[in-house]
């Protein structure tokens, strides 16, 4: 479809469903880490995402090193840090917001690793986002006038965003091997994280904590794992891949800007996470940076062509 083709109502509904699924995902993580150590939760998530789904997909012809790189960055790295951040007290809504900084870390890594050049709107967006993150990071404390955010939780979430950005660079390398079923790649790459997650869990959380969690795995905990594996990973990514295949990326990608809105709303409704004014200010700057980054380029090009 061309860049001007309107999105069909059904596909618009699917895009909004993905945003809802991914936004609620952060609250589900918070529920999951209550009874399951965060690194063990990561292992269980990807075990369930890989089996039995891999029985229905052929592995794309991609070098093993890229499967490993993708699994260790966007899966192990991102979710080890994110799950740990929420485990130590990072509010789920703020986590959904801060994690969007991955867009700018991707831009920085692409400039360093892929030698990509920045445009004026990207520089402006990066500066806005940096100030926004600094404001959010400065607001850690006991939350007497709003939600509490430990500094460790904030830093771990930023680290998760960096690892997501590293995974994005790997994804670009995967794209050089031609068109493929991206969901199949994600499913087969899910075979990579379980062993590293289990090793990290045994080392940092301890075999006794792992055994105790498995012995007391109740229906609620299993539902959280199932949501993370089947809904957020397989359903969400499957629908997203469908939309990216039907429409230009610049028509679909901006929908991710709505994820923090759902995440913040869910955190408020489910856990009573009321933000402080400085969080709103920092979040507004971060989202403004994302908007400038996504829409600033086409706007500047349109203004340049105007008589």
- Is the residue at 175 inside a domain? yes
- Residue 223 confidence (pLDDT): 95
Number of domains in the chain: 1
Whether 140 and 68 have beta carbons less than 8 Å apart is answered as: no
Establish whether the linkage from the previous residue to 3 is cis, with ω within 30° of 0: no
Q: What is the pLDDT of residues 96-122, one digit of tens each?
A: 999 988 888 888 888 888 777 777 777
> Among all chains, which residue has been given the structure tokens 């404001």?
135
For residue 142, pLDDT beyond 80: no
Q: What is the mean pLDDT of residues 275-293?
A: 84
Q: Is 303 part of any domain?
A: no
Once rounded to an integer, what is the mean pLDDT over residues 202-207? 97
Residue 226 within any structural domain of the chain = yes
The mean pLDDT value of the chain amounts to 87
Going from the C-alpha of 12 to that of each of 8, 291, 301, the distances in angstroms are 6, 20, 27
In a domain, 304, yes or no: no
The pTM is what?
Answer: 0.89
Query: Each residue of 207-236: pLDDT tens digit?
Result: 999 999 999 999 999 999 999 999 999 999
More confident site: 110 or 271: 271
What pLDDT does 303 receive? 55
Is residue 301 included in any domain, yes or no? no
Question: Is there a domain that residue 149 lies in?
Answer: yes
pLDDT of residue 84: 98
Examine residue 64 and state whether it is found in any structural domain, yes or no.
Answer: yes
Residue 207 domain flag: yes
Residues spanned by the domain of 232:
9-296
């Amino acid at each position: 479809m061309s860049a001007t083709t309107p999105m069909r109502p059904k596909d618009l509904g699917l895009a909004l469903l993905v945003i809802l699924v991914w936004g609620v995902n952060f609250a589900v993580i918070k529920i999951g880490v209550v009874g399951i150590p965060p690194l063990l939760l990561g292992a269980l998530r990807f075990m369930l995402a890989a089996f039995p789904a891999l029985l229905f997909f052929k592995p794309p012809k991609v070098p093993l090193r890229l499967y490993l790189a993708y699994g260790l960055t966007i899966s192990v790295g991102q979710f080890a840090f994110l799950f740990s951040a929420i485990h130590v007290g990072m509010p789920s809504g703020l986590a959904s917001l801060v994690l969007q900084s991955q867009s700018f870390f991707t831009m920085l890594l692409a400039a360093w690793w892929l030698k990509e050049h920045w445009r004026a709107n990207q520089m402006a967006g990066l500066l806005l986002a940096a100030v926004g993150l600094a404001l959010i990071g400065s607001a850690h404390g006991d939350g007497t006038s709003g939600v509490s955010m430990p500094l460790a939780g904030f830093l771990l979430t930023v680290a998760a965003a960096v690892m997501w950005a590293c995974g994005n660079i790997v994804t670009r390398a995967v794209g050089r091997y031609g068109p493929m079923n991206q969901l199949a790649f994600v499913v087969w790459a899910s075979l990579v994280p379980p062993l590293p997650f289990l090793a990290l869990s045994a080392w940092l959380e301890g075999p006794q904590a792992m055994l105790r969690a498995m012995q007391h795995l109740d229906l609620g905990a299993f539902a959280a794992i199932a949501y993370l594996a089947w809904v957020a990973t397989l359903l969400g990514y499957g629908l997203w891949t469908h939309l990216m295949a039907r429409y230009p990326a610049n028509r679909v990608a901006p929908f991710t800007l709505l994820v923090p809105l759902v995440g913040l709303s869910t955190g408020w409704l489910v856990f009573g996470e009321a933000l402080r004014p400085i969080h709103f200010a920092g979040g507004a700057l971060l989202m403004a940076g994302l908007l400038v980054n996504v829409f600033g380029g086409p706007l500047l090009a349109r203004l340049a062509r105007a008589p």
